[in-house]
Structure 1
Amino acid sequence: MTLSEIRAAAIAPALALLPARMNSPQAEALLLAIGLQESSLIHRRQVGGPARGLWQFEQGGGVRGVLLHPLSRPHALAVCEARGIAPVPSAVYAVLEHDDILAAAFARLLLWTDPAPLPEVGEVANGWDYYQRTWRPGKPHRDRWDDCYARTMDELQEVADAR
């Protein structure tokens, strides 16, 4: 899928399930860049690893964290109810690979758990820091981030130009 298709089919519907204050250009930019970084927005099952979904969540890591964190839990429960999924790590994990809306919602909720404000759109280095803090990747690839973020900026600029 293209970035436009991901935005329309996964990110926009996911953000619609969450409070309006979670929907911002900053959130959308990070969701796109992190999705590109984690899975190239192609791999719903981690190559050689346990993570699932386009944002690559592990059952005992991001899934469990979003379901239990006091800032994300109430919203995660509402998202699970809306998607017809039991709000337990094993059930969410099992569905993430096939439900891009659920995956995008959980990705946004993981960002929500960080007390720092989201970086402004275009702040590549601050975006990297935010990603590292929230995703805690086992093998971070900083060299890929700049390209992922640049692709995100190109997508968002195309959308702005079309308006």
Structure 2
Amino acid sequence: MSIDQAKAINRSAITPALRLLPARMDTLQARVELLAISGQEADFRHRWQVVDPARPDVRGPARGLWQFERGGGVHGVLGQAQTTLAAKALCQARGVPADERAVYEALAGDDVLAAGFARLLLWSDPAPLPAVGDVNGAWQLYLRTWRPGAYTNGTPAQRVRLRGKWAGYYATAREALAKEG
């Protein structure tokens, strides 16, 4: 779990994305959550879903550092009343048509777009962001908004392993952001 990778994502993807969204969306809580999710979903490095580590070129259905699926997160962010206008403005700023197919195809190559969509998905949750340090609250937010199939469909042992990974990525995110300032 690389602090340097997390810091780089914050600088090169999250910060520029948050500059393109309403200012109230840029909080330390949001940045920690975004980095932890990028770690959990993509190990801070995968721009498409790796379904078989022995064959990393085989792509699953999710794209970008936050692993959005076309009919899931992309559809939701573009279609929800509380996010659609900001999503369209973000797409325009990134030169991407605001439709599911175009956004989905752009996510693997545009980390700023991916970070913006991830922040908008978090924004769509009616609960406030958990306080920095509330690892379990952050985990619950991740489960509600990303609905990871590996957890939902996993065995009890797999769920424990995924929750353990979250704790590590969350700690990495906090440390990376503490060292940014």
Under TM normalisation by the shorter chain, which class is it? Answer: over 0.9
Q: Is the 8 A contact 2:34 2:115 kept in 1?
A: yes
2:32 corresponds to 1:11: no
Aligned-pair CA distance for 1:157: 2.1
Cα-to-partner distance string for 1:63-107 (whole Å, 9 max, x where unaligned): 000000100101000001111111110000000000000000000
Q: Point out 4+ residue stretches in structure 1 off by more than 2 angstroms.
A: none
**Aligned pairs, how many?**
160
Partner of 1:33: 36
Indicate the residue corresponding to 2:163 in structure 1: 142
Measured in 2, the distance between the counterparts of 1:33 and 1:46 equals 17
**Larger fraction in strand:** 2
Task: State the Cα distance separating 1:159 from its structure 2 match.
Answer: 2.5
Question: After alignment, is 45-54 or 98-107 more displaced?
Answer: 45-54
Which residue in 2 is equivalent to 1:71?
Answer: 82
Structure 2: distance between partners of 1:115 and 1:20: 18
Counterpart Cα distance in 1 of 2:174 and 2:100: 33
Secondary structure at the aligned position of 1:2 is classed as helix
Give 5+ residue unaligned stretches, structure 1.
none
Q: Aligned Cα RMSD in Å?
A: 0.9
Aligned partners of 1:111 and 1:158: how far apart in 2? 24
Point out where structure 2 has 5 or more consecutive residues left out of the alignment: 52-59, 152-161
